[in-house]
Structure 1
């Protein structure tokens, strides 16, 4: 989902930095303040209606009018998410980085930048951003889980396991952490431990795809494609919105059993969904 700072938040920030000074300043300053308020409102409306080129233009007009670093950081964050929706990822990274240079503790901005880093293969940069967030919010399960998944992508399984176990130490009922740990066990060949965790997930969430998807991957890697196909079919039955990862996994299973046409169709779908996710499409 595209994350932008809403008009109300931005307007409050601008009022806070201008409201106490306008009466003592020149009339021209009042004109600038009024123009800035209109630009901020207009960019918010452009984003709401999906007119991202117009939002970009308005944000670029507003930025030179703002000197307060926190307000600039807010607008730069919005500009980054607009570029993200336009699939201009290099520009999005530049905008997010500029915002963080002004306020390094903007969690949603850093999270957005980390997501782009991870999606574009810049895993070490993603780790650095998530590590910063984990330091800021040591008990935040989402940031720690995301860092664990980046570690998995880097095949740094011990560090991924440490993050997931840390989540479970504070929240023994975290199903996402249990699923992540089962994935680590799967990828490190600890199939019995992984299967026990997946069986437990399926028992607790029989109508959800999470456990079936993981166990299908386990069966595929352990040389049981028939069981993998059974579980992946069940995973698709349990969700109205299959993920790109689910399509990609079914493609791998179809290829193993010799159904190249189905494998190609699923991979194409996964690629389209991944591109949309990076842009921030709903």
Structure 2
């Protein structure tokens, strides 16, 4: 009996040590992630995977997290391998399928992205985030009808879904349905008057409608509400370019860059301004 008792104690101590070590790894990974030290997060996640071994119940989550970390490091192929490993360990995880679908879209594998979103939605039929993301993939595939249908499903269940309504408005605008877009932006702004993104989006709509005074009024309101909202400076630059005020546009574009907007589109607009 003594031997059995001692053996039990050893097993329990081993479990406690393992649990404590796993928690320490998880805390270190979370700390690295919060400080945007993604190499550190990747290294510790790989070490944790080795530590827990192949029989760990939540191993698929570790690989899924590893894939997300690797995406932040722009290691797309490695991230795909990690997500595929996570899927092989648990093919019923909507989070794994959604992450893989998003990565495939980022890598321009739109068919693969759509396939994974379909699989995820077969598990969670009315998941709003999955439907919005599948809609975006369909839009990139130029299936605007399919994209619109997904968004309408979301809005039928939740009329207050911001992202779905905004994406639907963008589809309508691409078809020239400015009336629908303006009506809905007006309502959204009335319901949420403190959101700079809504004023910026309506300013962009007014720009497309060539109603520049209203566009300036909205984009200035967006900047007033969010001084560090870089997209608003880009929108104001676009309006200034449209009316021939390229020096003012350059100033706003430089401000957007200082705020962290390093998109190729911003530099294209700068080149356009400098040509005149």
State the TM-score, normalized to the length of structure 2: 0.73
Q: 1:81 to 1:209 in 2, by over 3 A?
A: same
Deviation at 1:190, TM superposition (A): 0.9
Question: Is 1:265–2:254 an aligned residue pair?
Answer: yes
Please identify, of 114-123 and 32-41, the stretch whose mean Cα deviation from structure 2 is larger.
Answer: 32-41
User: Residues of 1 paired with 2:25 and 2:89: CA distance?
Assistant: 21
Q: Which residue of 1 aligns with 2:78?
A: 91
Q: 8 Å contact 1:52–1:85 — kept in the other structure?
A: yes
Aligned residues: 246
Q: Which residue of 2 aligns with 1:18?
A: none
User: Residues of 2 paired with 1:246 and 1:154: CA distance?
Assistant: 28
User: Residues of 2 paired with 1:255 and 1:147: CA distance?
Assistant: 34
User: Residues of 2 paired with 1:262 and 1:170: CA distance?
Assistant: 43
Q: Which residue of 2 aligns with 1:224?
A: 211
Q: Which residue of 1 aligns with 2:23?
A: 41
Structure 2 residue runs of 5 or longer lacking an equivalent are 1-6, 264-276
SS, match of residue 49 in structure 1 = helix
Deviation at 1:99, TM superposition (A): 0.6
1:210-249 residue pairs with structure 2 within 5 A?
Answer: 210-239=197-226, 242=229, 246=232, 248-249=234-235
User: Residues of 2 paired with 1:159 and 1:263: CA distance?
Assistant: 37
Question: Is 1:56–2:49 an aligned residue pair?
Answer: no
| Structure ranking higher on relative contact order (CA contacts 8 Å, 6+ apart) | 1
Moved beyond 6 Å, runs of 4+: 29-35
Question: Is 1:252–2:241 an aligned residue pair?
Answer: no
Deviation at 1:32, TM superposition (A): 8.3
Could you tell me which of 105, 109, 115 is aligned with 1:128?
115
Q: 1:234 to 1:85 in 2, by over 3 A?
A: same
- Greater Rg over alpha carbons, structure: 2
Deviation at 1:43, TM superposition (A): 2.6
SS, match of residue 271 in structure 1 = coil
Deviation at 1:187, TM superposition (A): 1.1
Q: Which residue of 1 aligns with 2:267?
A: none
Q: 1:240 to 1:247 in 2, by over 3 A?
A: closer
RMSD: 3.2
Q: 8 Å contact 1:248–1:267 — kept in the other structure?
A: yes
Q: 8 Å contact 1:80–1:95 — kept in the other structure?
A: yes
User: Residues of 2 paired with 1:131 and 1:264: CA distance?
Assistant: 39
Q: 8 Å contact 1:183–1:214 — kept in the other structure?
A: no
User: Residues of 1 paired with 2:261 and 2:158: CA distance?
Assistant: 32
Residue by residue over 1:203-244, the C-alpha shift from the partner in whole angstroms, topping out at 9 and shown as x without a partner, is 2222223432332222222333443232222223334663x6
